[in-house]
Structure 1
Amino acid sequence: MTRTEKAGANGAVPGEGPPRQLKRMLGKADLKAVPETRRALRELLSHWGRPGRSEIAELLTSELVTNALVHTDRDAEVTATVGPRGLRVEVRDDAERKPKLRVPIADDGTNGRGLVLVQSLADAWGVVMLGAGGAGKVVWFELDGGTA
């Protein structure tokens, strides 16, 4: 199931209008959702006016979505919100394991680089554990409205 929503006045800065938001449910192991999410994010960011930052946002979102789908074996949800201060992307899943930042091994292909990219390119990022009993976690990153 896929949907794009406009946020309400929540989070809006007076005179700036409401933030724009993308919300998308991702099915378990549905790797087709990765390029589809990138396209939807590109559309959301088309009026952001930050081309270099938009490309970084697409890359980092792809990494978090792929991690959620490949490493958790569960459904996930991605939420991207563009507001006056920048972009925040959150990927929620029901897995109770906290992702580990790994130093990639040179001969390991492309594995292990996702969170390193997020750490390197995002202005801020983190993981919020949602509690016991299978509540899961949210992995997020933020890009400010500055230029790349």
Structure 2
Amino acid sequence: MWVGVMAGEARQPTQLLRKVGCADLTAVPEVRHALRKMLRKWGGPGASDVAELLTSELVTNALIHTDHGAVVTATVVPDSLRVEVRDFVSGLTAPPPPPHVPTADAGTHGDGVREEGTSGRGLVLVQALADSWGVEDHGVGKVVWFELNGGSAAA
């Protein structure tokens, strides 16, 4: 669902609102594609790539770590983007990630040598790449959000 328009661009949306179903990981690329379309004229080089990556991480976390769906809201103003992913699980809080997560899902090869894991780095990426981010408790559920300062939309 699209909501709002950008000043001077009657058809250009400024807000993406998307509900994703429980464990529907096919929603991750769909949300990423919708965000890419919305951000075509926003930010500098690479800004939409970072936004897509961080959004994918937050949506994936919400779908993997909860038994409920989530709501994704992305709002663009000329100088920034804010993405929020809200889940509906009571009593959960997300602590800030540690400064370094070397082997989040690492295992061993049987010889005691650890292999690097490929998951468990979502919030570390958000912390490293977002201009700001946080978690807000909403009683029933929480919102994990990030902001990027990407500059003005291109003419």
Is the CA contact (8 Å cut-off) linking 1:19 and 1:81 kept in structure 2?
A: no
Unaligned regions of 5+ residues in structure 2, if any? 107-115
Residue 104 of structure 1 is matched in structure 2 by 101
Alignment partner of 1:27 is 2:24: no
Is the CA contact (8 Å cut-off) linking 1:104 and 1:111 kept in structure 2?
A: no
Higher strand proportion (structure 1 or 2): 1
User: Across the two proteins, how many residue pairs are aligned to each other?
Assistant: 137
Report the AA paired with residue 140 of structure 1.
Answer: W
Deviations 1:28-77 (A, max 9, x none): 00000000000000000011142311100000000000000000121100
Unaligned regions of 5+ residues in structure 1, if any? none
Residue identity over aligned pairs, in percent, reads 60
Residue 112 of structure 2 is matched in structure 1 by none
Distance 1:49 1:136 in 2: 31
Residue 114 of structure 1 is matched in structure 2 by 122
For the aligned residue pairs, the C-alpha RMSD in angstroms reads 2.5
| Larger Cα-atom Rg | 2
Deviations 1:86-138 (A, max 9, x none): 1000000012311232442333522210000000000000000012xxx1100
Alignment partner of 1:128 is 2:149: no
The alignment partner of 2:64 has SS state of helix
Report the AA paired with residue 97 of structure 1.
Answer: L
Moved beyond 3 Å, runs of 4+: 15-19
Is the CA contact (8 Å cut-off) linking 2:82 and 2:145 kept in structure 1?
A: yes
Equivalent residue in structure 2 for 1:75, among 69, 75, 80: 69
Is the CA contact (8 Å cut-off) linking 1:19 and 1:84 kept in structure 2?
A: no
Is the CA contact (8 Å cut-off) linking 2:2 and 2:13 kept in structure 1?
A: no
Higher helix proportion (structure 1 or 2): 1
